[in-house]
Structure 1
Amino acid sequence: MEELITKLSNAHGISGSEGNIRAILEEELRPYVDEMRVDKMGNLITVKKGDGPSIMLAAHMDEIGLMVKYIDDKGFLRFVKIGGWFDPTLHSQRVIVHTEKGPIPGVIGSKPPHVMKDEDRKKPVNADDMFIDVGAKDKEDAMNMGISIGTPVSMDREVVKLANGKITGKAFDNRAGCAIIIDAMRQISKMDIKATVYAVGTVQEEVGLKGARTSAFGLNPDIALAVDTTIPGDHPGIDKKDSVLDIGKGGAITIADAAGRGIIASPQVVKWLVETAKKNDIPFQTDVGDGGTTDATAIHLTREGIPSTVISVATRYIHSPVEVLDVADLKHCSDLIAKAMISVNEYF
């Protein structure tokens, strides 16, 4: 699992530019599924055929990033944020500008503190005051590199091992989910199960759950599990009253997120997953959150409604280039999904 999450995380694919990630999923999933196609939105749809209920496993392929909106006369790039960035996280980062001619390294800069007024030094720098420096001589030089309005930009960061089975890198939200689905389908392919399983890599989750909405409408599954990351409460700056989760203690089964404004999970789906975890001695946690949402929010409201929940990996520092997770949790999640497929007919 560590090799797989590293491969996925080190690749680049901001919302709307998920092609690199989709190619990895296609390669990894092909041996384990009966059908594979890409829909009009760019979602990867794969099918493991069966005679029982249909289950949709959804993991979004996109990461948050940036997009070039203006090139000034000196060749510096102004950008918009694609997805939910906390502006100070962007300052002084290395980036990769993804042009049609190939990737170009750059750095995010701003006015140096030495020339700021005292009151400005006390405030965080806004993204609107930042720019990307690729070393261009001028606007024409930048354009000759292949940079244009709309060029996507991602963080220049690779996975590094920390102590005790933990790793750090960019885009674990949600390359973790992609890795989990791949390993789950590997296990499922060797099992005698009755269910039809749709393993779906969705697009543009970070900018509105868009791919989940369209793919779920097209598939109309009986049950859906979104696989994503979530916020733990096990490090300084956050209290257990804000999140009861810890990394390294198993996947998190969502009961409700966004204080119910996102999804209030199907009780039967939650029961199915909890009882499967207990029966198979798979570590798990349950989660009630009041923050963000996942693809499940869009999926469960599709057509006449699809019983759904989320299986998440507790991940520190989400929406930054230095996210941290425990590799063991990836395996706990994929094992839970695979084992749940065996008993799905008993619950639905």
Structure 2
Amino acid sequence: MDRTETLMKEFTEAPGVSGFEGEIAGLMRSHLSKVADFETDRLGSVVARLRAGKKGPRIMLTAHMDEVGFMVSHFTSRFVRFNKMGGWWTPRMVGLPVTVRTAKGDVRGVIASKSPFFMDEEERKKVPKADDLFIDVGAVGGKGPESLGILPGDPVIPDFPFTVLAGGKTYLAKAWDDRVGCVMVVEALRRLAKAAPPNAVFGVGSVQEEVGIRGAVTSGALIDPDVCIALEVNLAQDIPGSAEGRPEKLGGGVSIYVYDATLIPNSRLRDLAVAVAKEKKIPYHYSALPVGGTDGGKVQLNRHGVPTIVIGVPTRYIHSGAGIIYRPDYDAALKLVVETVRKLDAKRVKGLV
């Protein structure tokens, strides 16, 4: 594995559902300690200020640390009931291996449902409800999950290893949303540290994005940025059943958002990113998503407003137990972010509005 793959393995395999992002925060601190100084907001978002930066415009690069997952709610006999943390489609949950994080240690299990062999024809036609699902941790006899140290409020994380697929350039892992952005923050700050940019750069690992984009509000208030670039996944649509002809695909380069449900990107900042992509011969495409939101949607509303764009890496099967990205798309996104930040001097930032 090269350094980027090693980072991706560390970040995707680490547990960190919404509200429990501490291990991811620790990774960000560890990997940026040589180039940045740190602050933490009161919700737990990590803010790394690049030491090589100057006193110019305050540039915020943000990625959320939390992944979709679950939380223990109560018990039914020998089984664990749970709440969803983030957006899940229930058919993707059935059969999903999970790990319950308890004060006494990890407990592995699987999300299960009533067996289809015991369903009538009408039941089989229906999409199962999340309330009908449960986690089986292998408890038998008179002992319930409590005997294993499981308590209400414990986080539950999908269980899947980082895997390099055939060809060596496609990666399968859980939590790409948004650990791919976290890795990009780390690598972007490392690159920018080699030659001081004309601005003050802040790399952020935000918390609780999947349950209401919360850490973006608090970290944005802490930094008070002049510009924000949100580093995210994007919905790859090169799979059966998706819309034909969409540009969001593995091998399509970096996604430059032109719209999502929470953000209309600053047009001049967006156009700058496009110009940089053309100048540096970085493969890119435009992306407009009618659903979903990112940290950028909240940061843009800080104080008097913040010019904001979203840069994405096309990803298959987000908000599931595992997804797939293509390394050259990530490399394109990273290069675009770094080269765009290098262009954001005081004069250019002033001209964004």
Name the TM tier (shorter chain). Answer: over 0.9
Over 3 Å counting, the alpha-carbon distance change for 1:17 and 1:139 in structure 2 is: farther
The alpha carbon displacement at 1:233 in A equals 2.2
Give the equivalent residue in structure 2 for 1:307.
Answer: 307
> Is 1:179 aligned to 2:183, yes or no?
yes
> Is 1:89 aligned to 2:92, yes or no?
yes
Match of 1:158 among 137, 156, 161: 161
Give the equivalent residue in structure 2 for 1:198.
Answer: 202
Give the equivalent residue in structure 1 for 2:281.
Answer: 281
AA aligned to 1:254 is Y
CA-to-partner distance for each residue in 1:218-250, whole Å, 9 max, x for gaps? 211000001010112212111146x43122222
RMSD between aligned residues: 1.4
Q: Determine the C-alpha separation between the residues in 1 that align with 2:187 and 2:24.
A: 16
Match of 1:10 among 8, 13, 25: 13
State the TM-score, normalized to the length of structure 2: 0.93
Q: Determine the C-alpha separation between the residues in 2 that align with 1:240 and 1:17.
A: 38
Give the equivalent residue in structure 1 for 2:344.
Answer: 344
Alpha carbons 2:54, 2:196 under 8 Å: kept:
no
Q: Secondary structure at the residue paired with 2:278?
A: helix
For structure 2, which runs of at least 5 residues remain unmatched after alignment?
none
Give the equivalent residue in structure 1 for 2:48.
Answer: 46
1:1-348 counterparts in 2 under 5 A?
Answer: 1-33=4-36, 35-48=37-50, 49-72=53-76, 74-137=77-140, 141-164=144-167, 165-240=169-244, 243-258=246-261, 262-345=262-345, 347-348=348-349
Q: Secondary structure at the residue paired with 2:24?
A: helix
State the TM-score, normalized to the length of structure 1: 0.95
Q: Secondary structure at the residue paired with 2:210?
A: helix
The alpha carbon displacement at 1:141 in A equals 4.4
AA aligned to 2:348 is Y
Alpha carbons 2:41, 2:222 under 8 Å: kept:
no
Which moves more between the two structures, 135-144 or 162-171? Answer: 135-144
The alpha carbon displacement at 1:51 in A equals 1.9
Q: Determine the C-alpha separation between the residues in 2 that align with 1:101 and 1:83.
A: 25
Alpha carbons 2:180, 2:233 under 8 Å: kept:
yes
Alpha carbons 1:57, 1:224 under 8 Å: kept:
yes
AA aligned to 2:241 is G
Alpha carbons 1:96, 1:106 under 8 Å: kept:
yes
AA aligned to 1:282 is I
Alpha carbons 1:272, 1:347 under 8 Å: kept:
no
For structure 1, which runs of at least 5 residues remain unmatched after alignment?
none
CA-to-partner distance for each residue in 1:53-75, whole Å, 9 max, x for gaps? 11000000000001111112x32
CA-to-partner distance for each residue in 1:27-86, whole Å, 9 max, x for gaps? 1111221x11222110001101312111000000000001111112x3210011010000
The alpha carbon displacement at 1:150 in A equals 0.6
